[in-house]
Amino acid sequence: MAELKEIQGAADTLPDKRDFALWNLGFRPFYLAASGYAAVSILIWVAQFSGWLPHTLITGSVWHAHEMLFGFVLPVIVGFLLTAGQNWTGRKTLSGYPLMALVLLWLSARVLVMSPWGWASAVANVAFPWVAAAVLAVPFIRAGVRRNYFFLALLFLLGAISLGIHVTHLASLQALDWLNMQMALDIVLFIMVVMAGRVTPPFTANGVSGSQPRRIAWLERVAPGLVLAVLVADITSLHGALMAVVLLLATLAHGLRLSLWQSWKTVGTPLVWVLHLAYGWIVLHLSLRTLAEIGWISSSTAIHALTAGAMGTLIIGMMTRTARGHTGLALKADRYDVTCYLLVQAGAVVRVLVPLLLPALLLPSILVSALLWSAAFALYAVRYWPLLTRARVDGRPG
Instruction: Kindly report, residue by residue over 137-194, the tens digit of the pLDDT.
Output: 999 999 998 999 999 999 999 999 999 999 988 887 766 777 889 999 999 999 999 9
Length of the chain: 398
Residue 111 amino acid letter: V
pTM score, two decimals? 0.92
Distance CA 66, CA 55 (A): 14
Q: How far apart are alpha carbons 208 and 243 in whole angstroms?
A: 38
Give the separation between CA 58 and CA 46, rounded to whole angstroms. Answer: 15
Taking the C-alpha atoms of residue 189 and residue 303, their distance in angstroms, rounded to an integer, is 11
CA-closest candidate to residue 21, choices 333, 384, 382: 384
What pLDDT is attached to residue 50? 82
Query: Can you tell me the distance from the alpha carbon of 290 to that of 177, in angstroms, rounded to the nearest whole number?
Result: 22
Cα separations (Å) of 71 from 17, 83, 206, 289? 31, 19, 33, 24
DSSP bridge partners of 20: 390
Please give the Cα distance from 386 to 171 (Å, whole number): 45
Q: Residue 227: phi, psi to the nearest 5?
A: -65, -40
Rg over alpha carbons for the chain, rounded to the nearest Å, is 20
Alpha helices for 144-176 (secondary structure H): 149-170
Q: Is 55 helix (H, G, I), strand (E, B) or coil?
A: coil
Q: Distance between CA atoms of 314 and 192, rounded to whole angstroms?
A: 8
Q: Work out the number of other CB atoms within 10 angstroms of the CB of residue 36.
A: 17
- Beta carbons within 8 Å of 325's beta carbon, 6+ residues apart: 331
Q: Which residues in the chain come in under a pLDDT of 70?
A: 1-18, 55-59, 174-175
Question: What is the residue-wise DSSP string for 298-351?
Answer: -HHHHHHIIIIIIIHHHHHHHHHHHHHHHHT--S---HHHHHHHHHHHHHHHHH
Name, in order, each residue with C-beta under 8 angstroms of 334's C-beta and a sequence gap of 6 or more.
3
Could you give the CA distance from residue 317 to residue 272 in angstroms, rounded to a whole number? 8
If phi over 0 gives left and psi between -120 and 50 gives alpha, with beta otherwise, what is residue 240?
left
List the one residue out of 156, 171, 148, 166 whose CA is nearest residue 81. Answer: 148
Question: DSSP assignment of 248-296, as one string?
Answer: HHHHHHHHHHHHTT-GGGGTT-HHHHHHHHHHHHHHHHHHHHHHHHTTS
DSSP code of residue 71: I
Q: Which residues contact 351 (CB under 8 A, 6 or more apart)?
A: 304, 308, 365, 366, 369, 373
Question: How far is 192 from 354, CA to CA, in rounded Å?
Answer: 26
CA distances from 72 to 129, 315, 336 (A): 13, 10, 21
The pLDDT assigned to 247 comes to 98
- What is the pLDDT at residue 377? 98
Q: pLDDT tens for residues 183-195?
A: 999 999 999 999 9
What are the E-state strand segments in 2-101?
A: none
CB atoms within 10 A of CB 163: 17
- Alpha-carbon span 91 to 213, nearest angstrom: 31
Positive or negative CA dihedral for 60, 64, 66, 71?
positive
Q: What does each C-alpha distance from 262 to 254, 302, 394 come to in angstroms?
A: 14, 25, 33
Strand partners, 390: 20
> Tell me, what's the pLDDT at 116?
86
Q: What are phi and psi of 20, to 5 degrees?
A: -75, 120
